[in-house]
Chains A and B, each alone.
Chain A
Amino acid sequence: MLGSLMAARGAPWVGQACRMLSLAVMTGFAAVAGATVDPGKATAPRMEFAPPPPGSYKLQNIQRVSDAVLLDSAGQAVKLSALTQRKITLLTFFYTYCVDPLGCPFAHETLGQLRDRVRADRRLARRVRFVSVSLDPTHDTPQTLADYGREFAVDPTFEWRFLTARRVPDLLPVLDDFGQDVSVETDENGRATRTLHHMLKMFLIDAHGEVREIYTLAFLQPRVMFNDIETLALEGD
């Protein structure tokens, strides 16, 4: 059914329909669809406090990242562990045609702000990478990711990788390991639409491959996230 999503790609009405749907849903926390479940309006994260200074707190070891084989935007098989170790990694899941204002675009906008701040510290910039993993391998081919990622590759020295999977079953263990939910909205005939529902999550992973913080929409506070990155960097110093 996701194949039909691919087939529909590029049709002018699709983008508009997605936008309308997304504006109606405004998920961000995405969530399930259906008559009885209404995620309602998501709200942008607010920050009404001074973040604790880097190194003044400990980020807990939440879970270890399991390894998997995915595809990079050049179509090369890549071990996930190669991109979740040896650097501090911010990993998120997305899909290229997501237009939810508080969904994937918001996540990447937040990451863009963070990248600019990290780049300002060259020593830190060498120790940090971002990884964006597609939730829709059927549509988001390596070439699609390469096209999409170009917008974010403003600095070739900063590592921001876009990954997909050869097929959906290759992705499922990764989603399961991270606890990333995703479902596909269907129409009245049970056919998949172009709307994926997922809870926006970002995972901060230390250089040893341990998840140390998880951000959902309410916690996408760039100043706090930057201090968390610095806190992990201080651990390694």
Chain B
Amino acid sequence: MQIDRQMISNRSAAVIADVFAIADVFAIAKVLMITGAFVLANVFTIAAHADETCNSPYMSGLIKGQEDYVHVWTLGVPGLGDGSDKLVTIDANPASKRYGKVIDKVSVGGRGEAHHMGFTDDRKYLWAGGLDDSKIYVFDVGTNPSHPKLVKTIDDLSAKTGYAGPHTFYALPGRMLIGNLSNTADRGGVTGLSLYNNKGEFIAKYDMPTTAITTAANATSTAGKKTVTGDGYGYDIAVNPAKNALLTSSFAGWNNYMRDLGEVVKDPEAMKHFGNTMVLWNLKTMQPEKIFAVPGAPLEIRWALAEGQNWAITATALTSQLWLIERDARGRWQAKDVAAIGDPAKIPLPVDISITADAKGLWVNTFMDGTTHYFDLSDPQHPKETYSKHTGSQVNMVSQSWDGRRVYITSSLLSKWDKTGKDNEQFLRAFNWDGHELTPTFEVDFTKEQLGRPHHMKFSADQKRVASLVDAAVR
């Protein structure tokens, strides 16, 4: 089984190599997008969001000092350890004797394409989703963050909504808004958002728009172009409460993300099924208000949340651009590409991004060339790359501490999209960042440790000098 998979993956790698051998892939992709075929070598993507600076702004207990632990939601690999998806906890405090070591792992007893996770608003629980089986696992990380416990499994997402592939878990007060990737009817990319309360009870669903929107906000589309029609695809979620604004992005459905990458690339029909839009929602009414054309699978969304800032940023995986979603002087929301990431012609595949706490800088990982980039966002209209470093043969997630001094990187994209052979490195690498250079601090080899493919990261910290109401009352 493992050998077959290896052979298939090797074929995929060869196909990708062929694709990359085309001298001007990006130009071809542009033509294809213009003609509507959109058969770009547009493929390999999906990232995640991570870090402290990118958590829901309503969450309590943001860690603004040294994090104690990094939790890594890890895809199981057949024949490696118990083969199950698992939450891996690594000691990340340099003052600890266990610094850089795996101190805990909680298997969920199956393999469902572990991918992303998100804290509840009180940071007591971590919800983690499976893109294949659509299950959601709830871990208690508040009681003892060094030893999370699986306390609940939510398995009614598809039955309640018809959606599949829970991706983004975004804390709202007392509830969790989930951005999904797919649906159960045709396993394509048309999907929606689902809402659960913190007890894990389903509340509501919201379909991603598949038609043009007729609201006043949408009447004047980006740069005066014709009104954009929704493609129904989903991916990330990001909220700005001061503006009553919710932004969503778009990727692809189960048929693509659970299929061997090489096969997807070779299938012109499959290549048509990637998201090309972002949607602005009215957060209070949960109605879509405007659809932006953002070609090439816009993924992670990050708001600049400081007073006076009126923008969010995203990266398109397939076209390798940074896009700014900004409210203009007339109060209209617009989207425009503001910078290239690496050389788009080489299809570096930007995946995860991580914005600094002051929104003046942005980390971007590009999967194919294994590079970690830093952009100066002082002028969000003109982001400027000021640093880059080769950090692995394949890199996906990037998470930074609130103070920006520590940066963590993991390697895995998707079980069927990761590289193969010696390039299939599976690691978490930690770095210090002094504003000029990423300096390695520790590394965990997830293959050697028999863990799996590391994906999404979240931080936690011991709660020192606090007692529960009961403990305080009885002492």
Contact = CB atoms under 8 A, between A and B. Distances in A.
Interface of A: 1-3, 29-40, 43, 45-49, 51-52, 56-57, 60-63, 135-136, 138, 168-169, 171-172, 175, 178-179, 181-188, 190-192, 197, 199, 201, 203, 211, 214-219, 224
B473 to A, nearest CB: 5
A199 B475 contact: no
Contacts of B121: 199, 216
B195 interface: yes
Given A172-B469, A179-B122, A39 B464 contact: no
Contacts of B282: 52
23 contacts: A1-B471, A1-B473, A29-B59, A30-B60, A35-B66, A36-B462, A37-B63, A37-B64, A37-B65, A37-B464, A38-B63, A38-B65, A39-B60, A39-B61, A39-B62, A48-B243, A57-B286, A168-B473, A179-B199, A183-B463, A201-B173, A218-B242, A224-B244
- List of 5 A-B pairs having minimum Cβ-Cβ separation, nearest first: A34-B464, A214-B174, A57-B285, A46-B242, A184-B472
Contact of A36 (B58, B67, B307, B470): B67
Contacts of A136: 469
A32 B241 contact: no
A168 B470 contact: yes
A63 B175 CA distance: 10
Contact of B173 (A37, A47, A219): A219
Given A37-B63, A62-B174, A63-B201, A169 B461 contact: no
Contacts of B284: 51-52, 57, 224
A49 B63 CA distance: 30
A2 B198 CA distance: 29
B465 interface: yes
B288 to A, nearest CB: 13
B474 interface: yes
A167 B416 CA distance: 55
Contacts of A224: 244, 284
Contacts of B124: 181
Given A34-B461, A46-B242, A216-B121, A62 B175 contact: yes
A62 B59 CA distance: 18
A37 B307 contact: no
A163 B245 CA distance: 36
Given A34-B461, A39-B64, A192-B475, A218 B58 contact: yes
By size class, the interface of chain B is 35 or more
Nearest to A196: B469
B200 to A, nearest CB: 11
B202 to A, nearest CB: 10
B464 A36 contact: yes
Contacts of A32: 60-61, 461, 463, 466
B468 interface: yes
A201 B174 contact: yes
A136 to B, nearest CB: 8
Nearest to A47: B242
B103 to A, nearest CB: 16
A62 to B, nearest CB: 5
B68 interface: yes
Interface string B34-68: 00000000000000000000000111111111111
A156 B245 CA distance: 39
A47 B243 CA distance: 6
A3 B195 CA distance: 41
Most buried by A among B61, B172, B471: B61
B467 interface: yes
A5 to B, nearest CB: 8
B203 A61 contact: yes
Contacts of A197: 466
A17 to B, nearest CB: 15
A219 B241 contact: yes
B153 interface: no
Most buried by A among B59, B197, B472, B475: B472
Contacts of B175: 62, 214
Contact of B243 (A49, A172, A182, A201): A49
B473 A2 contact: yes
Given A46-B307, A211-B174, A214-B173, A181 B63 contact: no
A218 B285 contact: no
A130 B124 CA distance: 28
Contacts of B172: 214
B466 A184 contact: yes
A102 B465 CA distance: 22
Contacts of A168: 469-470, 473
Nearest to A28: B60
Nearest to A49: B244
A79 B287 CA distance: 38
B310 to A, nearest CB: 8
A56 to B, nearest CB: 7
Nearest to B57: A218
B469 A182 contact: yes
B197 A62 contact: yes
B424 interface: no
